[in-house]
């Protein structure tokens, strides 16, 4: 699969399309990630809280694919913000890797005031070479601003809920101004919204002989975003990766832009405090 890369603000390159394993059952993860790697995905997005790092690691080890051809992201869970080093070591151990490509703070949890300390830990981990890039997830403008003000270290990415029903234009613009790459989670509306049934989307998709999911992924990619749609089905893995041979025109991009509803499907990062 010829998957383009995006250059991050630290000079590293990340494959623009990856494969996410949120809510992928640990008992199925090795098989599913093996399928994804066979299909041609080389970028896997997991997290300590997903409970499937070990199975992701096994699929990677069994694949025989060279480590430097793979891109692996994991995330620091909320309860571990007080000791990022220990949590990171545990993630590496479970993954069976001596390095990840990207390590993220999963949620800002502003009510606990620990994210800044955690970020300083990630900066040290970056310095040790065991994470090639570091970033954050679910950070709003005020959380990013505080990191920048207090530490001066700009995250390489911010991984946020972003899809046509919830486009986060101000936050995306803030990230652009600061050179922070945007990773869109829930890029397809998580399968629990009616996004993929919208006629506006079907029209755009039909014009290219593509599916609504492919049209949405194309809409993300043309805006320079990084996406890692999740599916457990091999046919959909192929479908979701077949998004580089066509181009939406301005009117088609605008039609999808028009689906904005300010509709969050996940938790609000300002109040999410699940420990």
Catalytic residue numbers? 50
21 binding ligand NAD? (CB under 6 A): yes
Q: What share of the chain is helix, strand, coil (3-state, %, to 5)?
A: 45, 15, 40
269 binding ligand NAD? (CB under 6 A): no
- Give the pair of three-digit tokens for residue 248: 């939406």
CB of residue 267 vs ligand NAD: minimum separation in angstroms?
8
User: At 101, is the secondary structure helix, strand, or coil?
Assistant: strand
Minimum CB distance to ligand NAD smaller for 21 or for 72: 21
78 binding ligand NAD? (CB under 6 A): no
185 binding ligand NAD? (CB under 6 A): yes
Bridge-based pairing of strands 131-137 and 100-105 is: parallel
> Which DSSP string corresponds to 143-206?
HHHHHHHHH----SEEEEE-BTTB--HHHHHHHHHTTPEEEEESTTGGGTSSGGG-HHHHHHHH
Q: Residue 140 and residue 145: Cα distance in Å, rounded?
A: 9
106 is known to lie in a ligand binding site? yes
CB of residue 70 vs ligand NAD: minimum separation in angstroms?
15
231 binding ligand NAD? (CB under 6 A): yes
User: At 4, is the secondary structure helix, strand, or coil?
Assistant: coil
45 binding ligand NAD? (CB under 6 A): yes
CB of residue 157 vs ligand NAD: minimum separation in angstroms?
10
Minimum CB distance to ligand NAD smaller for 107 or for 174: 107
Q: Residue 164 and residue 222: Cα distance in Å, rounded?
A: 13
Among residue numbers 211 through 230, which ones bind ligand NAD (CB under 6 A)?
213, 228-230
Q: Which of 6, 196, 207, 253 binds ligand NAD (CB under 6 A)?
A: 196
Interface positions with ligand NAD (CB under 6 A): 20-22, 45, 106, 137-138, 159, 185-191, 196, 213, 228-231, 236, 239-240, 266
């Amino acid at each position: 699969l010829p998957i383009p890369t995006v250059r991050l603000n630290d000079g590293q390159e990340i494959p623009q399309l990856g494969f996410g394993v949120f809510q992928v059952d640990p008992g199925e993860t090795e098989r599913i990630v093996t399928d994804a790697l066979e299909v041609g995905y080389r970028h896997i997005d997991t997290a300590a809280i997903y409970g499937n790092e070990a199975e992701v690691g096994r699929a990677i080890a069994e694949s025989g694919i060279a480590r430097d051809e793979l891109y692996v992201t994991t995330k620091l869970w909320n309860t571990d913000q007080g000791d990022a080093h220990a949590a990171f070591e545990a993630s590496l151990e479970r993954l069976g890797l001596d390095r990840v490509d990207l390590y993220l703070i999963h949620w800002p949890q502003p009510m606990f005031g620990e994210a800044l300390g955690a970020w300083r830990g990630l900066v040290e981990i970056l310095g040790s070479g065991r994470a090639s890039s570091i970033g954050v997830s679910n950070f709003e403008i005020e959380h990013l601003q505080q990191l920048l003000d207090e530490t001066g270290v700009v995250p390489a990415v911010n991984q946020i809920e972003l899809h046509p029903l919830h486009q986060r234009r101000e936050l995306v613009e803030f990230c652009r101004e600061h050179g922070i790459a945007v990773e869109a989670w829930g890029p397809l509306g998580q399968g629990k919204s009616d996004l993929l049934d919208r006629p506006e989307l079907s029209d755009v998709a039909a014009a290219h002989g593509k599916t609504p999911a492919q049209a949405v992924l194309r809409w993300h990619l043309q805006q320079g975003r990084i996406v890692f749609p999740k599916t457990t089905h091999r046919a959909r893995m192929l479908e979701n990766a077949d998004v580089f041979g066509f181009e939406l025109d301005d009117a088609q991009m605008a039609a999808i832009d028009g689906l904005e509803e300010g509709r969050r499907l996940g938790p609000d990062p300002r109040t999410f405090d699940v420990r």
